[in-house]
Amino acid sequence: MKELTQPTLTIDGKTVLIEGERNLLELVRKAEIDLPTFCYHSELSVYGACRLCLVQVEGRGIMGACSTPPEPGLKILTTTQEIREIRRIAVELLLANHDQQCPTCARSANCQLQILAQRLGIRKVRFKPVHAPVPIDESSPSLVRDPNKCVLCGDCVRMCSEIQGIGAIDFAHRGHDVCVTPAFGKQLGDVECVNCGQCASVCPTGALTPKSEVDEVWSLLADPEQKVVVQVAPAVRVGLGECFGLKPGDITTGQIAGALRRLGFDQVYDTSFAADLTVIEEGTEFLKRKQEGRKLPMFTSCCPGWVKYAEQYFPDLLPNLSTCRSPQAMFGSLIKAMAPEQLKVDRKNVKVVAIMPCTAKKFEAQRPELGVDGDPDVDHVLTTQELAHMIQSAGLIFNSLETESFDMPYGFYTGAGVIFGNSGGVMEAVLRYAGEKLKGGKLDRIDFQEIRGESGMREASITVDNTELKLAVVHGLRNARVVAEQVRAGKCGYDLIEVMACPGGCIGGAGQPVSTNHNARALRTKGLYEADKMLQLHKSQDNVVVTECYAKFLGDIGGEKAHHLLHTSYQSRHRIVDEVLPLMQARGSRKNKVSVCLGTNCYLKGSQEVLKTLLYHVQATGLDNQIDVRAAFCMDECECGPNAIVDGEHIHDCLAANVIEILENHVENEDKREK
């Protein structure tokens, strides 16, 4: 009876301390009772719609635990006959309108709706479906949207807008027709979605799932003509085990190598090797920029979710992105370029499969610039979950597999490459390299504790040999937006900014097993730092295979060949494809065409005024019968906006006056031509 001052309440007769919990749900869960929920996520705002978290509060009645703040003295019951019945009805109603193809669903056995139906002992659904089936959206390279399985919890909507700051999907329509959809009922592949998949990782059902490429990979493996090379990303080794009952963060590198060989991959390599290569290229690029004081701060570029985000929202900052390809892309490009020489096979007979914690990597692999003549450098990307499916489908008992090692040479890596998988890791790896280069000798430390941590926005300043480096590490794209806006406004003096789209970095990627362990991300991160510690080498510059690779194949660091194979370029990008607003339409066959961009960037630079003046002018001069005027939404040239196009002629940085002048020239020419 010592803690008399500490506030308490009782849950199912048991006294529980109130220690700053935000709502009853957190307390109930602390009391080791797994109250069911669909619409509650500790990192997202409280929605309170699913009504599954109901509890009985003495003297007050039945209330939603997620939206009731704790008060001392409350007496709470978590299951009563009445609550049980309400829950049953809620779940039955959801099931009635759910496409119940459970055995063939990607989330089977991992679906909250299925689990709950089992927990509540539902054997029969008493209600009739009221929804006609709608088509499945497979337009995205990364995700599949099956609205027939949606329970309208809104988790995805809040994830995309609150954590990622995008809002690519939202509720639309009302009453009976409510659904979660991209704007205007378009497909996910046609809107501003950056493929991070975080929506899928919070979806309780199979309504949003990573797109599987397992079948394609099985076919490759069955083809004797093909040499199939596999690379495994760092974060996979601390996540895969969860699919086989291990704890988040348990390191399974050895079993993974063994499993991949048993599945039939010809060469089993590690993306951490390519991460080491990335450190060298990116570190060199950074030091050069720092020396020249140009294009700073430099943003990292290994996260494909962030890269697409930057292309859509910060085209003016693209020169600040490192030109380095991601480790996945470097690996693919290098292997395919070296294959004829090293593996003695033609490029067309080498296939690269990447095992990634990430859904956005599937999109990245399909970028046309990351391939040669239409042949992609990385042929298929499998998520951690998909690898687990392959292992299960082959009947391998993962936990009893003998541990093996990756193949040489590209299975050799240092700790710097491994920590690429968690937020702060890329920065630390680059510092371990750049620090030595700045100092011109060995650094006496390898750990940079000051940039580690869980916060979504961290900054640090590190001084090496009189050079001060100002650093920022962000994860979650909403945080990235905050920092990028500061950079845009010239309000921060950072030198290097690491951005990862997913909370916690790649270890929290949407390709990782869907976890109910609230601590999973911290544990996986810990796992990666442990993997780093267990290795003999911690700095990418100590990776002998990397050194040899430069000596025998790539030439100079940052040199021409390295640039060609390991770097890339970016381009501004539409958020919504194919959207134009016709404003004037020529009537006759004779016409000149003008379009003015009203995309965000041009809009901010005043394109609306340009368009207005142009419209007045065209009408005032009576040309409206022969000119098509339309507004476009992004011409993919944001850096030189406001943009306009007159009969195919691009006008950058345009003012109304010069658009009009050019237009009049075109009209005159047309007049002449007609005569």
Partner 1 sequence: MATAHLTVDRAEKFRIVCGILDRHGYRPSGLIPILQAIQREYQYLPEEVLTFVATSLDLPPARVFGVATFYAHFALEQKGKHVIRICDGTACHVKQSLPILNAIHGELGTSEKQKTSIDALFTVETVACLGACGLAPVVVVDEQVYGGMTPERAVALVNEIKMQEIAGDAQAAAAAVNGELHVH
| Residues labelled catalytic | 282, 285, 302, 322, 361, 364, 369, 506
Closest CA to 600 of 258, 110, 192: 192
Is residue 78 near ligand SF4 by the rule CB under 6 A? no
Q: Note whether 99 and 133 are within 8 A (CB).
A: yes
Contact partners, residue 160, CB within 8 Å, separation at least 6: 166, 167, 168, 169, 193, 198, 199
- State in angstroms the smallest separation of the CB of 81 from ligand FES: 20
Is residue 152 near ligand SF4 by the rule CB under 6 A? yes
Residue among 193 and 438 whose Cβ is closer to ligand SF4: 193
- State in angstroms the smallest separation of the CB of 637 from ligand SF4: 24
- Please give the size of the binding site for ligand FES, defined by CB under 6 A: 12
Q: Which two tokens stand for residue 578?
A: 């194919």
What part of residues 448-507 is at the interface with ligand FES (CB under 6 A)?
Answer: none
d(CA 543, CA 272): 11
The listed partner (partner 1, ligand SF4, ligand FES, none) that binds 633, CB under 5 to 8 Å by sort, is: partner 1
Burial 497-515 (b: 16+ CB within 10 A, else e): bbbbbbbbbbbbbbbbbbb
- State in angstroms the smallest separation of the CB of 151 from ligand SF4: 4
The listed partner (partner 1, ligand SF4, ligand FES, none) that binds 603, CB under 5 to 8 Å by sort, is: partner 1
What part of residues 546-585 is at the interface with partner 1 (CB under 8 A)?
Answer: 575-576, 579-585
Residue among 205 and 568 whose Cβ is closer to ligand SF4: 205
Contact partners, residue 405, CB within 8 Å, separation at least 6: 254, 257, 411
Is residue 598 near partner 1 by the rule CB under 8 A? yes
Please list the alpha-helical segments (H only) found in 504-629: 520-534, 544-549, 560-566, 600-604, 607-620
Is residue 612 near partner 1 by the rule CB under 8 A? yes
The listed partner (partner 1, ligand FES, ligand SF4, none) that binds 565, CB under 5 to 8 Å by sort, is: none
Is residue 541 near ligand FES by the rule CB under 6 A? no
Is residue 68 near ligand FES by the rule CB under 6 A? no
- Please give the size of the binding site for partner 1, defined by CB under 8 A: 42
Number of residues in the chain: 675
Closest CA to 151 of 24, 84, 51: 51
Burial 36-69 (b: 16+ CB within 10 A, else e): bbbbbbeebebbbbbbbbbbbbeeeeebbbbbbe
Q: DSSP assignment, residue 277?
A: H
Measured torsion, CA atoms of residues 295, 301, 306, 310, in degrees rounded to the nearest 10: 30
- State in angstroms the smallest separation of the CB of 35 from ligand FES: 8
The enclosing H or E element of 226 equals none
The listed partner (partner 1, ligand SF4, ligand FES, none) that binds 171, CB under 5 to 8 Å by sort, is: partner 1
d(CA 99, CA 149): 6
What part of residues 197-226 is at the interface with ligand SF4 (CB under 6 A)?
Answer: 197-199, 202-205, 207-208
Residue among 266 and 628 whose Cβ is closer to partner 1: 628
What part of residues 614-643 is at the interface with partner 1 (CB under 8 A)?
Answer: 615, 618-619, 624-625, 629, 631, 633
- State in angstroms the smallest separation of the CB of 58 from ligand FES: 19
Other CB atoms within 10 Å distance of the CB of residue 256: 27
- State in angstroms the smallest separation of the CB of 343 from partner 1: 46
Beta-bridge mates of residue 63: 55
Residue among 219 and 585 whose Cβ is closer to partner 1: 585
Q: Largest Cα–Cα distance in the chain? A: 103
Is residue 52 near ligand SF4 by the rule CB under 6 A? no
Is residue 600 near partner 1 by the rule CB under 8 A? yes
Is residue 194 near ligand SF4 by the rule CB under 6 A? yes
For tokens 């699919």, the residue is 243
What part of residues 14-53 is at the interface with ligand FES (CB under 6 A)?
Answer: 37-40, 48-53
x-marked contacts with ligand SF4 along 303-332 as a string, rule CB under 6 A:
------------------------------
- State in angstroms the smallest separation of the CB of 583 from partner 1: 5
Please list the alpha-helical segments (H only) found in 327-410: 327-342, 360-365, 384-393
Q: Note whether 299 and 317 are within 8 A (CB).
A: yes
* Options 160-168, 246-254, 422-430, 565-573: segment touching ligand SF4 (CB under 6 A): 160-168
Closest CA to 384 of 295, 556, 256: 256
Other CB atoms within 10 Å distance of the CB of residue 586: 16
Contact partners, residue 2, CB within 8 Å, separation at least 6: none
Is residue 410 near ligand FES by the rule CB under 6 A? no
Contact partners, residue 520, CB within 8 Å, separation at least 6: 242, 248, 249, 508
The listed partner (partner 1, ligand SF4, ligand FES, none) that binds 66, CB under 5 to 8 Å by sort, is: ligand FES
> Coil, strand or helix: which one is 53?
coil
Residue among 181 and 271 whose Cβ is closer to partner 1: 181
Is residue 47 near partner 1 by the rule CB under 8 A? no
Is residue 358 near ligand SF4 by the rule CB under 6 A? no
Closest CA to 586 of 478, 497, 666: 666
What part of residues 168-207 is at the interface with partner 1 (CB under 8 A)?
Answer: 168-174, 181-185, 191-192
Residue among 619 and 669 whose Cβ is closer to partner 1: 619
Contact partners, residue 350, CB within 8 Å, separation at least 6: 226, 227, 229, 335, 336, 339, 343
Is residue 603 near partner 1 by the rule CB under 8 A? yes
Contact partners, residue 393, CB within 8 Å, separation at least 6: 214
Is residue 154 near ligand SF4 by the rule CB under 6 A? yes
Beta-bridge mates of residue 500: 475
- State in angstroms the smallest separation of the CB of 519 from partner 1: 31
From 48, 102, 138, 167, residue interacting with partner 1 (rule: CB under 8 A): 167
**Where do contacts with ligand FES occur on this chain (CB under 6 A)?**
37-40, 48-53, 64, 66
**Where do contacts with ligand SF4 occur on this chain (CB under 6 A)?**
143, 150-156, 159-160, 164, 166, 168-169, 180, 193-199, 202-205, 207-208
**Where do contacts with partner 1 occur on this chain (CB under 8 A)?**
161, 166-174, 181-185, 191-192, 575-576, 579-585, 587, 598-600, 603, 608, 611-612, 615, 618-619, 624-625, 629, 631, 633
